[in-house]
Structure 1
Amino acid sequence: MGQCDRRAAIGAAAALLVGGTTVMAGSGTAQAETSGEQARKSFRVVDRRGRQRFLVSSSKPPISSGGRTYPADQRQGPEGTYLIFNDGDGNEKGGIVSSSVGAGISLDYTNAQAITLATRWEGVHGAAMLEMKHMPDPALPIDRVPAMPPRVQLGYSTPEGAFLVLSDSRGRPRIVLEIDGDDNPMIKVLDSEGKMVGRLPETPDGQGT
């Protein structure tokens, strides 16, 4: 399985509430037609200082980080249902998203995603992946954080099979374990240029390249 094919397959698959007295606030209220119950587009839980600790929203919400609020269009991920977790300072630290074609769970560093567990499906095809990313400079605001490369990718897709990719600090795959769509196992070791320098099982000429 090529790295480009793998990223295409899993790119689609691929963003704690603490105690204390809380207040629940709703927005966008309307009467539900079927049950007569009051419906909300979103609600949030805040602590005694008024800082958000938990948010549920039926659309992509803004991002709270470092004392600033960033517009929703800067958030990765599809439109869908969002559950957002915030720390004691109101900074976002992870969440859950669900859409009509996939779902994901994210745990964050100070200013970027750290771990993502995601799945996506379309018809008879599906993919699932656990990804761990490189940590950026924690002093950077989120709008200045460059795209962080993945360091660990563990995944599966219907056509491509299962794989584990370990990458260096620049996101270059260096060790790849895979079982392809035809159930053939393989282990590859790559250099910094992407050239294979070791392989199991070896190629027919026994050179392992």
Structure 2
Amino acid sequence: MEQCDRRAAIGTAAALLASGATVMAGSAPARAESSGEQARESFRVVDRRGRQRFLASSSKPPVIIGGRTYPADQRQGPEGTYLIFNDGDGNEKGGIVASSVGASLSLDYTNAQAITMATRWEGVHGAALLEMKHMPDPALPIDQVPAMPPRVQLGYSTAEGAFLVLSDSRGRPRIVLEIDGDDQPVIKVLDSEGQVVGRLPETPAERLATLPPVIN
């Protein structure tokens, strides 16, 4: 996956260069101690209008959306290596983040994250998640967008097993498919209050409730 993401990033930068983009170094070069190569904290590609189209940074970068630049402290995510992809207007539309405890790939709506694929680990424990979120009003500025609820979550963790959760527009789980940490499968349908209204396999109590009454 890392190799595939690296090829995609390099291919994107190459395509921008071929279309007349300009490469700009984000910081003054410094001599790398180990290899003798020049080290840079960031690498930026801009088009002929000066709009950012791609950024590689060794620290959390600012966010460019709707023609505005928001400071790095408004960006979600850990400190780490960032690869940022921008559209023809310079607006951020996705990126790749790699830190010491995890990595993620995200694709964006106009003003919010749409899809996130992430992994995280600590010792012998790890988790991986694919999440699709509800789309906000695209006219809202980024600093006015409320937290968008997830609509689809497909994941795995060493502690909880594998799961698929389908949620309604308010982020309430309504259908859950799960294979827990003990390899036991279950399918649950929930109402708007979070109560289970259907389940496979049935619990012992549910099976008893479906049995015909005993006639003496």
The residue aligned with 1:21 is 20
| TM-superposition CA deviations, 1:76-122 (whole Å, max 9, x none) | 10000000000000000000000000000000000000000000000
- Residue 22 of structure 1: CA displacement? 1.3
Cα deviation, 1:44-83, whole Å, max 9, x if unaligned, reads 0000101000000000000000000000010010000000
Question: What letter is aligned with 2:23?
Answer: M
Q: Distance in 2 between matches of 1:27 and 1:49?
A: 17
Distance, in Å, in 2 between the alignment partners of 1:31 and 1:48 is 30
Corresponding residue for residue 146 of structure 2: 146
The equivalent of 2:93 in structure 1 is 93
Which amino acid is the alignment partner of residue 142 of structure 2? I
Alignment map for 1:109-124 (pairs within 5 Å)? 109-124=109-124
| Aligned-partner Cα distance in 2 for 1:141–1:184 | 45
Larger radius of gyration: 2
CA distance in 2, matches of 1:35, 1:189: 57
Alpha-carbon distance between aligned partners in 2 of 1:24 and 1:39, rounded to the nearest angstrom: 16
**Secondary structure class of the residue paired with 1:106:** strand
Alpha-carbon displacement from aligned partner over 1:138-175 (angstroms, at most 9, x marks no partner): 00011100000000000000010000000000000000
In 1, distance between residues paired with 2:177 and 2:50? 48
How far did 1:38 drift?
1.1
Any gaps of 5 or more consecutive residues in structure 2?
A: 1-11, 211-216
Taking structure 1 as the reference length, the TM-score comes to 0.90
In structure 1, give the amino acid aligned to 2:93: K
Partner of 1:104: 104
Q: 1:27 Cα shift?
A: 2.5
Find out whether 1:167 has 2:167 as its counterpart.
yes
Aligned length: 193
> Offset at 1:36?
2.0
Is 1:82–2:85 an aligned residue pair?
Answer: no
1:5-62 Cα offsets, whole Å, 9 max, x none, are xxxxxxxxxxx66642111111232111122211100010000101000000000000
Name the residue aligned to 2:193: 193
Q: Which runs of 4+ in 1 moved over 4 A?
A: none
Higher relative contact order (CA 8 A, sep 6+): 1
Q: Which moved more, 1:122-131 or 1:28-37?
A: 28-37
**Any idea what SS the aligned residue of 2:59 has?**
coil
Q: Which has the higher helix share?
A: 2
Q: Which residue does 1:53 correspond to in 2? A: 53
Q: CA–CA distance in 2 between the matches of 1:122 and 1:35?
A: 30
Q: Distance in 2 between matches of 1:75 and 1:47?
A: 24
Identity of matched residues, %: 81
Residue aligning to 1:9: none
Secondary structure of the structure 2 residue equivalent to 1:60: coil
Whole-Å separation in 2 of the counterparts to 1:86 and 1:178: 37
Q: Distance in 2 between matches of 1:106 and 1:34?
A: 33
User: What is the TM-score with the length of structure 2 in the denominator?
Assistant: 0.87
Partner of 2:214: none
- Secondary structure at 2:56 match in 1: strand
- Other-structure match for 2:213: none
Aligned mates of 2:22, 2:105 — CA distance in 1:
25
